[in-house]
Amino acid sequence: MTKRNIMYRLLVCCSMLLVCCGCRKTEKGPKSRQQERMAEYVVQHSITPQNARSQEVIARKTPTLQREFSNASLTLGSPIFLRIFKESRELELWVEQNKKFVLFKTYPIAYFSGSLGPKLREGDEQAPEGFYYVSPSRLNPNSKFHLSFNIGYPNLYDQSHQRTGSAIMVHGNTVSIGCFAMTDPLIEEIYTIADHALNAGQRFFRVHVFPFRMLDEKLAQHVQSPHLAFWKNLQEGYSFFEQTRRPPNAIVEHNLYVFEADKEGI
């Protein structure tokens, strides 16, 4: 655990003790206490973009999430990893524990547009498939869909195949064109967890998007699909994580994904 991780967790614990125990000498009304709590989170969450909405959400969601993480023997602020499965409409959130990633929770996806298969061009209303990542600047507290984060489509693989499009998000609400809508309550939880991880020192978190669980028997059901070769390439990255419980670093060579152990340990 880095010194930054330790300091971040101490700050969070101390601020929550102040909030929960009411360690102020002067009695203050509910509104003042809420403003104090939000101010504390602004200081601790300076790496990611913030506005009044995100500050309120993070302050409100953090105590419950801390309890849930503790009950699962996890630490809020540890590195995270997301997997999305389009066919089953699921988003998995994994958390690092002892150098491996363990599944914290599976969230239902309220809606995404299009069908199984990659996004090919701007305006095709397809949600993408592939290997993406989210850096702090890609969190968007000003989203028209409550809160969101940009997964980074098109990546280098997409660009090498002349795929076009932009602003592919995981966001709130229940409607979407090309993105993944999670509902407002669920995006608040996912966003808060991501915000803690990035502010605790994770440089970015990975988001892997698959058409379905990339098992041999599932691929056998799609032998006639024009996307079969692409999906077999995705299966390599899927299998890497299944075997190691660490998300691989995906690079592009000769217009194909190639997978290697993540040198940065994310």
Q: Are 95 and 77 in contact (CB under 8 A)?
A: no
Active-site positions?
171, 179
How far is Cα 248 from Cα 166, in angstroms, rounded to an integer?
24
Coil, helix or strand for 258? strand
Between strands 130-134 and 100-108, the pairing is unpaired
In the chain, what is the straight-line distance between the N-terminal and C-terminal CA atoms, in Å?
13
How far is Cα 125 from Cα 116, in angstroms, rounded to an integer?
12
Neighbouring CB atoms inside 10 A of 94's CB total: 22
* Alpha-carbon separation of residue 84 from 47, 81, 88, 128, 252 (angstroms): 25, 10, 9, 10, 21
